[in-house]
Amino acid sequence: MVIRYPNGKFYTPEKNNLKKKQNKDYSYSNRGKTLEDEINETNEYYLQRGTAVIHKKPVPIQVVKVEYPSRSAAVIKEAYYRTASTTDFNGVWQGLHIDFEAKETQNKTSFPLKNIHAHQIDHMMMVHKQKGITFLLVRFSTINRYFLLPYGPLKNAWDTMCQGGRKSIPLEEFETHAFEIAPGAFPSIDYLKAVTKMLAATTA
């Protein structure tokens, strides 16, 4: 369809398209929301209903200089982002410790492992040893599919890479070893449903 402005000129959409591309994920269903936004909304939904208490951890920031203007709040004037030593989300659900990392990729056929840091895998390994429930939540943004990949297959793929093998996890691997999450409205990403499936599969 050709859109004409009242002045009769053709509408040139280039500029607008550029903006959309910068927005990264502008498919119909997630409407420009980041995966983090979607998980935060889901966690808020869980919290309000008394389902679970899971929060995103604040980003660690090294504060260098703080000013205290009279009668107002302290203002941080110099600070730097630090690398997180753990995963992004954790909390408790029905007596279970939940601990996970969330990542999105534009890639349609595989998840590049460069998105994960070694210290995050180390952290997940330690949580797993302590009998915490730990996993990776991945959004393939372009094809709008969400997966909960358990620690086991993630660790296998990581070890393979470290031994000089494949640097990404193919989509088929997710279809086989991960638990797919159908995006919804309330909550947007009902990942605890996938955790339930994962636990059932582990104990079966």
**Contact positions vs a second copy (CB under 8 A):** 47, 50, 52-53, 55, 57-61, 63, 73-81, 84-86, 90-97, 99, 123, 126-127, 129-132
- We find the least distance from the C-beta atom of residue 52 to a second copy, in angstroms, to be 6
- We find the least distance from the C-beta atom of residue 63 to a second copy, in angstroms, to be 8
CA distance 123 to 18: 38
Residue whose CB is less far from a second copy, 26 or 45: 45
Taking alpha carbons only, the member of 147, 193, 198, 194 closest to residue 170 is 147
- We find the least distance from the C-beta atom of residue 15 to a second copy, in angstroms, to be 24
- We find the least distance from the C-beta atom of residue 80 to a second copy, in angstroms, to be 6
Residue whose CB is less far from a second copy, 43 or 188: 43
CA distance 100 to 91: 9
Residue whose CB is less far from a second copy, 109 or 130: 130
Residue whose CB is less far from a second copy, 8 or 69: 69
Tell me the CA distances in angstroms from 78 to 65, 70, 108, 187, one per residue in order. Answer: 5, 19, 39, 38
Residue whose CB is less far from a second copy, 18 or 53: 53
Burial of 82 (0-12, 13-18, 19+ CB in 10 A): exposed
- We find the least distance from the C-beta atom of residue 37 to a second copy, in angstroms, to be 16
- We find the least distance from the C-beta atom of residue 92 to a second copy, in angstroms, to be 4
Asked if 35 and 139 touch (Cβ cutoff 8 Å), the reply is yes
Residue whose CB is less far from a second copy, 52 or 181: 52
